[in-house]
A and B are shown apart, each in its own frame.
Chain A
């Protein structure tokens, strides 16, 4: 069969049900094979949309997403989703077309050095040099994307090679001698960690996206409940621990709660699970959790002691390590009373410093209120994607995620334009769920063309735009740190998002009144198909509380 038909066989063997992409000269053979392969293809309007859609699909379902692009500009448009997937450890296989082998290196039409350009931002990449390599390369790509620390894998296929006939045999084994992720975790270290937890008087569990990736939410809950440990999650980890729980501290970090950040500041032991001490968490590194010892559980050995030296390092899969840790901890029969004082102190912080905003006057919609209204309108039972900016932080703060894989956003790279396509992917992966993309007027315009994809494919994404007429987060920083010199952040509430939605064949509605907000949102969400809600919100509202960049947790403002 043709090599491209073998590509389809590989995708089917990997259980791929949908691919997101855009055809071009160099990948016409792939699209020819797709024509009757029986795999759903979603035709996006920009390759970046396809890449982010594959990410959204992967994050919502836990399966590997697939994104296709042609050579040159098709492939360069994929670089943002590739790096985004790398930063957030999302399993996606990117298949790019490449110019004919005889043109390689000649600056041929639509040629770009995809391998060279993507190398620093991939988990792995494979350039096909002979058509018979294709089946093995693809299976390796899927295996690498989903195992160990998940991530993006690029397979670049020169167009001439993709048309050659090759003998196809299913690949059942993957031989990668240089790749042996350690999943089990060292028993001695796990025992040591259990002992440290049993001895700690002011412990905090700090969980991240690794818990979601490892489907280890149950095990995390079990650990927290093993002894009423306080638990906080990173932006990526939200939902891994249920927000409406007495042991929940809220998110930590730059826009985390005071309770979470103060607890980290005063902790004597921090058990970090599947998180990586990002600068948005630690603030000033030298003043981060100055009294604490650290247990660090991560599947990626390179994360251990990268930013913070770990006293007890455990390399392994969060799910199996946590399960063993809970078992070891229970066997110790620790004195639970030792945590009373600590939990009491945390409770005091929670009561004294709740998340708050002033909503007392007028009918104008406060952006925080908008998020709470989305929660109420969906009953909390939705998949929420977001773009990047103030609305993202407000969503993280005010939407109480009850479960993992309900919160999909671009955490590491902070990619504006992520939210809408990610919502498309999530909606296709989870058709029985309401999928809401919470965006900003700045972010949505970075991939608004995907509304056309939603309309054509009948993807019932509900987009809620928190429209303040600004690039809000930059405006906030300019206000706080740049003497209110609002340089180039005024978007003037353009375009008319209702008309834009209608132009793309979607339903559009504008909301301006807080008193009817929940009902209006319910009504909008009840409209079948893709809907855009243009919610006009208070223009100069800030995200608080906040740790200024490079400051210490105890110096939170707001």
Chain B
């Protein structure tokens, strides 16, 4: 058992039911998936699942071994955070009128966010970055009134020439 957060990058065959098999495996063992993202790869037969779990709570070995048993799973990598570039995308709808708006926009600029919608009493800001950065942004804007927030969960890729 290792105490760190695990980012599992899983290559799977693009076939119906694969995601259910993966998610079901975690559920059966009582593992809580923190985030889960799925998308196509450069090969349309193959998809990539990026999944983060808290390894402090559970031994990760058993679950990766079980994942390997799924016929449609091609490859699993447990990415080391230090050797990994990970990003997530988030959309924040923040209450912002009058003087608050200027402050929110300033924070947005500092975080290199992008304003994607402006309404009379709210704005929507797009943030990409590490989970920590997104969380930090959330902390900054929450006092203004956070109407809604959407986060994608992480996608991750190994640094350097090595393949994820």
* CB proximity of A191 to chain B, nearest CB, Å: 24
Q: Would you call B71 and A301 a contact (CB within 8 A)?
A: no
Q: Is A179 a contact partner of B17 (Cβ separation < 8 A)? A: no
A123 to B74, CA, bound (A): 15
Would you call A179 and B71 a contact (CB within 8 A)? yes
Interface string of A111-129 (1 = CB under 8 A from B): 0000110011001110101
Q: Which residues of the other chain, B, contact A115 by a CB distance below 8 angstroms?
A: 16-17
A129-B16 in contact (CB<8A): yes
Chain B: CB-nearest residue to A305: B61
Q: Does B13 contact A (CB under 8 A)?
A: yes
The answer to whether the Cβ of B133 comes within 8 Å of any Cβ in the partner chain is no
Alpha-carbon distance between A382 and B8 when the two chains are bound, in angstroms: 51
Interface size class of B (residues with CB under 8 A): 20 to 34
The residue that A178 contacts in the complex, of B24, B66, B72, with Cβ under 8 A, is B72
**Contact flag A177-B74 (CB < 8 Å), given A301-B68, A302-B65, A305-B61:** yes
Residues of chain A lying within 8 A (CB to CB) of residue B74: 177-178
- B62-100 CB mask vs A (1 if < 8 Å, else 0) is 100110111111100000000000000000000000000
Number of interface residues of A (CB under 8 A): 19
Task: Determine whether A356 belongs to the interface, using a CB cutoff of 8 Å to chain B.
Answer: no
Q: Which residues of B contact A178 (CB under 8 A)?
A: 12-13, 70-74
Given the interface pairs A120-B28, A302-B65, the reply to whether A127 lies near B73 with Cβ below 8 Å is no
How close is B101's CB to chain A, nearest CB, in angstroms? 46
Question: A305 vs B61: C-alpha distance in the bound complex, in angstroms?
Answer: 9
Alpha-carbon distance between A116 and B24 when the two chains are bound, in angstroms: 10
A302 pairs with B62, CB closer than 8 A: yes
Chain B CB within 8 A of A144 CB: yes
Q: Which residues of B contact A125 (CB under 8 A)?
A: 17
Q: Which A residues, 66 to 116, have Cβ-Cβ distances below 8 Å to chain B? A: 115-116
Which A residues lie within 8 Å of B62 (CB)?
302, 306
Select one of A120, A123, A177 contacting B24, CB under 8 A.
A120
Known contacts being A116-B20, A119-B24, is A302 close to B66, with CB within 8 Å? yes
Question: Could you say which of B12, B13, B16, B71 has the most chain A C-beta atoms within 10 Å of its C-beta?
Answer: B71
Chain B residues with CB under 8 A of A179:
71
* In the bound complex, CA of A116 to CA of B61 (Å): 25
Instruction: Decide if B21 is an interface residue (CB 8 Å cutoff).
Output: yes
Which A residues are in CB contact (< 8 Å) with B73? 178
- Cα-based distance from A115 to B61 in the complex (angstroms): 27
Whether A127 pairs with B16 at a CB distance below 8 angstroms is yes
Q: Would you call A1 an interface residue if the criterion is a C-beta within 8 Å of the partner chain's C-beta atoms? A: no
Q: How far is the CA of A301 from the CA of B63 in the complex (A)?
A: 12
Give the distance in Å from the alpha carbon of A129 to the alpha carbon of B16 in the complex: 9
A302 with B16, Cβ < 8 A, contacts A119-B21, A119-B24, A178-B74 known: no
Which of chain A's residues has its CB closest to B25's CB? A120
CB nearest neighbor in B for A151: B69
Among residues of B, the one whose C-beta sits closest to the C-beta of A140 is B71
Which residue of the partner chain B has the closest CB to A127? Answer: B16
A268 adjacent to chain B (CB < 8 Å): no
Per the 8 Å Cβ criterion, residues 10-44 of B in contact with A are 12-13, 16-17, 20-21, 24-25, 28
Contact partners of A300 in chain B: CB under 8 A? 69
CA–CA, A177 and B43, complex, Å? 14
Query: What are the residues of chain B within 8 A of A129 when measuring CB–CB?
Result: 16
Minimum CB–CB distance from A152 to chain B (whole Å) comes to 13
CB A430 to nearest CB in B, in angstroms, measures: 31
Are A176 and B65 in contact (CB-based, < 8 A)?
no
Are B17 and A302 in contact, CB atoms less than 8 angstroms apart? no
What separation, in Å, do the CA atoms of A42 and B25 have in the docked complex?
Answer: 35
Q: Which of A115, A129, A301, A302 has the most CB of B within 10 A?
A: A302
How many Å from the CB of B17 to the closest CB on chain A? 6
Report how far A144 CA is from B72 CA in the complex, Å: 12
A338 CB, nearest partner CB in chain B, Å = 35
Contact bitstring B104-127, A, C-beta under 8 A = 1, else 0: 000000000000000000000000
User: What distance in Å separates the Cβ of B79 from its nearest Cβ neighbour in chain A?
Assistant: 19
Q: Which residues of A are found within 8 Å of B65, using beta-carbon distances?
A: 301-302, 306
For B68, the chain A residues whose CB sits under 8 A away are: 301-302
A176 to B12, CA, bound (A): 12
- A144 cross-chain contacts in B, Cβ below 8 A: 71
Q: Give min CB distance, B99 to chain A, whole Å.
A: 52
Nearest chain A CB to B49 CB, angstrom units: 13
Whether A127 contacts B17 by the Cβ 8 Å rule is yes
A267-319 residues with Cβ-Cβ distance < 8 A to B are: 300-302, 305-306
Known: A116-B20, A120-B25. 13 other contacts (CB 8 A): A115-B16, A116-B17, A119-B20, A119-B24, A120-B24, A127-B17, A129-B16, A178-B70, A178-B74, A302-B66, A302-B68, A305-B61, A306-B65
- Chain A residues in contact with chain B, CB under 8 A? 115-116, 119-120, 123-125, 127, 129, 144, 176-179, 300-302, 305-306
17 contacts between A and B (CB under 8 A): A116-B20, A119-B24, A120-B24, A120-B25, A120-B28, A125-B17, A127-B16, A127-B17, A129-B16, A144-B71, A177-B74, A178-B13, A178-B72, A179-B71, A301-B65, A302-B65, A302-B68
8 shortest A-B CB distances, which residue pairs? A302-B65, A124-B71, A178-B74, A179-B71, A178-B73, A302-B66, A178-B71, A120-B24
